[in-house]
Amino acid sequence: MSSTGEPSKPNDEEGETAVPSAIGESLANAARKSGIGQLADSDTSTGTALLGALGGIRGLLETILPGLVFLILFTFTTNVPLSLGASVLVAVVFTAVRIIGKTPVTQAVAGLIGVGASAILALITGRGEDNFIFGIGLNLLYGAALLISMLVRWPLIGLASGYLMGDGLAWRKDRTKFRVMQALTFLWFLLFAARLVVELPLYLAHTDAATTGLGIAKLLMGVPLYAPLLLVTWFVVRGLYGVGGTARDEAKPESTGPDRPASNGT
C-alpha cells in the first residue's frame, strides 16, 4: 500500500496470484449467489429482477411473515409462547409447501432454522426480546466484516463485484474502481450499523413495549432498506463496468475489462 492510503499498484501477475484459485472460485460462486449476482444474471426488467433477487413473492413472505405474526400476537397478548409458536408454525408451513411442491427449500429451511433457534432461546429465557438476538448478532457480524474489509483495503463489495463481472482482482489496480468499491462497502456497513443503533437499545430495554418496537424496527429496517441498497449497488457496479459488463476506464482507453459472464440461469 502506498503512503497516500491508496491501494498499491501490483504488477500484472500479482492480481492473479494474490488469491489462490480455490478461494477465487469460492468468491466467484458466492458473488453469483448473492443478490447482486442474481440481478446481473437476470434478463428481465429491473423490477422483476429485483423481486427475483429477493426470492420472489414467496421468498418475501417467508422472510417477513414469521416476524410479522410474532409482532402482531405479542403486541396484543404479550404472550411469549403463543407468539413464538405461531411464528414457528408459519415457517414450518412455508417449508412444507416447498417440500410438497418439490421446489428449492434452501431459503425456507434456513428461515425455519433461524426462527426455530430464536424461538427456543426466547422460550428458555422467557423474554420476548430474545427472539431477535440472533438477528442482532448477524448484523454485528456482517457489519464488523464489512468494516474490517474496508480498513484492510479489501472491500467485500469489491471482491464480490470483481469476480461477478469477470474482473477478478484487477479493480484494485484502478483508483476510481477501488474508491467506488470502498464507498459501496461503506454503504452496506451503514445499513448494518443503523440496525444495531436502533435495535440494540430496544433489546437492552427489556420491556414489552421495547420488544414490540424491536419487532417493528426489524420489519422496517429489513427488506425496505436492503432492497433499495441492493439496487443502487447493482446500478453503480453496472455503470462502473459499462452496460453489458464491458469495463469502462476513460483514463485508460486501451485497458478494457472482460465481458459480463453469461447468465447461469438462476
Give the pLDDT confidence score for residue 256 in this predicted structure.
38
State the Cα–Cα distance between residues 18 and 152, nearest whole angstrom.
14
Q: Name the pLDDT band for 258 (thresholds 50, 70, 90).
A: very low
Is residue 252 scored above 60 in pLDDT? no
Torsion-angle region of residue 192: left (phi > 0), alpha (psi -120 to 50) or beta? alpha
pLDDT at 266 over 60: no
pLDDT at 183: 97
Please give the Cα distance from 198 to 100 (Å, whole number). 39
DSSP assignment, residue 20?
-
Measured CA distances, 29 to 12, 22, 24, 34 (Å): 24, 11, 9, 9
Q: How far, in Å, CA of 26 to CA of 22, rounded?
A: 6
Question: What is the pLDDT confidence band of residue 209, given thresholds at 50, 70 and 90?
Answer: very high
* DSSP result, 229-250: HHHHHHHHHHHHH-GGG----T
In which band, very low, low, confident or very high, does the pLDDT at 7 lie, cut at 50, 70 and 90?
Answer: low
pTM score, whole prediction: 0.79
Distance between the two ends of the chain, CA-based, in angstroms? 38
Confidence (pLDDT) at 2: 47
Q: How far apart are CA 167 and CA 161, in angstroms?
A: 8
